[in-house]
Amino acid sequence: MTARIRLAGSGQDAVIEPAEVGEGHVLILDGAEQSHVDLADPSAIRHEYLRRVANVVDSLPAGPLRVLHLGAGALTLVRYVQALRPGSEQTVVELEAELVGWVLQHLPLPAGTRLTAVADDALAIVHQLEASSFDCVVVDIFTDTGPTDLGAPQFYTALLKLLTDRGVAIVNIGDSPGLQLFSRHAALMEGAAETAGMGGVWTLTDASMLAGNRPGNLMLAAGPGLSPAAGMDVSAEAQRWRAAGPHPSAVLDPDGTAELVQRFA
């Protein structure tokens, strides 16, 4: 099965087609593979950055979660959460108004998935939602060619306010050599977390990214859930994140994140 659409908002061409390697389908936006979905196994995650996000999600307390996804793609993480946490309440916010409906037409969600889809701007949404509404907020919209206004300090302040007392925010940064985008967002998230009394910011990435000489993805994680007060042994979980890979895997504690930011700021 292959499907195509021209997205009205951005003018990008979107394609869903069978994966060249292994099972499932991929979503391609303007020629770049953006998501992978295996309808037969929604727990399967092929992209390395999303596997690191899922590792953090797996550390949250057992049972259903309330999850906010800023950025839809092919809803790979929505499917993963439903598979491992049935009964979860999930909300996805996507600026491309027709993308979610088109994806679901060709790649349906597992039965029982509770999903609310909102076509809106992420910056506007985080200021409108009720405080302490989500156990997990996943942001997958930042690249070195993507939106810049979302990197304002107010965005991270509003984002962290959405978290419950066990909640975690996970932000994917797709950066180029020099890690300027990562450094900016890590510093902003650190400032918002410190002001909110939530502790520091953790970083999960491929170990080769720490040299800052190649493009790739770095995940930032912060929130009240990453603390002993929320019942999490963060040092033990960090070891598990590192062991879970994909390899070579690097997990930086808040001090390590701060050092990396200083190196490339």
Q: pLDDT of the chain along its 265 residues, tens only? A: 899 999 998 899 999 999 998 899 999 998 999 999 999 999 999 999 999 999 999 999 999 999 999 999 999 999 999 999 999 999 999 999 999 999 999 999 999 999 999 999 887 899 999 999 999 999 998 776 555 555 578 999 999 999 999 999 999 999 999 999 999 999 999 999 999 999 899 999 999 999 999 999 999 999 999 988 888 898 899 999 999 999 999 999 999 999 999 999 8
Q: What angle do CA 134, 137, 142 make, to 5 degrees?
A: 155
Q: Which two tokens stand for residue 82?
A: 């439903």
Q: Quick count: other Cβ atoms within 10 Å of Cβ 249?
A: 18
What is d(CA 201, CA 193) in angstroms, rounded to the nearest whole number?
Answer: 8
Q: Residue 135, class by beta-carbon neighbours within 10 Å (0-12 exposed, 13-18 middle, 19+ buried)?
A: buried
pTM: 0.96
